[in-house]
Amino acid sequence: MSKKLSLNNIITGFLLHAESKRLSPHTIDTYNYAFDKLRAHIDGKTPLKDIKVAELTEFLASLDTLSNKTLLNIHAALSTMWNWALRMGYAKKNPLLKIDRPRPERREVVPLTKENVLALLKACNQTRSYTRPGKAECSNSRPTALRDRAIILTLLDTGMRATELCDLQTADFDTKQRHLVVMGKGRKERMLPISSITVQAIWRYMATRDDDTPADAPLFATQGGGPLDRDQLRRLLVRLAGRAEVSGVYPHKFRHTFAINFLRNGGNVYTLQKLLGHSTLDMVRRYLVIAQADIEIAHKQASPVLNWKL
């Protein structure tokens, strides 16, 4: 194709392609973030074919305030776009292939404790205590208490991703079979069993809503009736954690907690992989290492040979 399409045109075409594949809003947002960063460094009117490896290397190097995980996401987004342009005949090569992918930091996986979760559940019920002049200390009941308790139990009981929870609809909740139907990455559907305690918590929350709530309504709704998004969910958990005085709480931490305790309690790695919706065992193996370390510590504490000093 002889016409030199600009970076702006290529981005527009690629995003139309991505939307036609029904990629998740989160993925589209990740693409837009990467493209906005690129166009702040390289003029969007520049023909795609004129963008060289050196310019892209300089661009990525300029993002030194971002984490390696974010840099990796940007690198992956640009590479995906260039591969699409290559298939469409708008580019002759993918320059990102000559730029090393950033290695994301491997953060320590620290699960929530039982005490942490109990404190979070307690924080769902009441607002922070406050004192009015001349009055005793008091607090108010929270209008979203039942919803927030159901959210915490659902995250802890299934290990689902934040986006997966936000995307749940009322039709995805089956009280008889005790499961939730989740649409995961790559539009892959999976069925997640839930405990009777979580079923009851969701049912109690649903009972506060209209009987004619449509099947495509969000399972966990905002007070206005709309779906929660990932940022709202994160902010909700941070606020609850502040009241509960539990540090380091975020949606994905419930996923870590579910996975590690699943293995601690005798679950196998292959079942866990399916429940989490992972395409490989890489992350599951990290959970297994943590669970195995717990077992070894427990053995040292409980071993009759060690304790009896034989």
Q: How many CA atoms lie within 13 A of 75 on its CB side?
A: 23
Listed by start position, the domains of the chain span 7-98, 114-264
- CA 193 distance to own-chain centroid: 19
pLDDT in tens, the chain (310 residues): 446 899 999 999 999 999 998 888 888 999 999 999 999 999 999 999 999 999 999 999 999 888 888 999 999 999 999 999 999 999 999 999 999 988 876 667 789 999 999 999 999 997 665 555 666 555 567 889 999 999 999 999 999 999 999 999 999 999 888 999 998 777 788 999 999 999 999 999 999 998 888 999 999 999 988 999 999 999 999 999 999 999 999 999 999 999 999 988 888 889 999 999 987 888 788 888 878 777 666 666 666 666 666 5
What CATH topology corresponds to 7-98?
DNA polymerase; domain 1 (1.10.150)
C-alpha distance from residue 51 to each of 1, 47, 76, 96, 293 (Å)? 17, 7, 17, 11, 49
In angstroms, rounded to a whole number, what is the distance separating the alpha carbons of residues 51 and 90? 12
What CATH topology corresponds to 114-264?
hpI Integrase; Chain A (1.10.443)
Decide: 294 and 196 in contact? Cβ < 8 Å: no
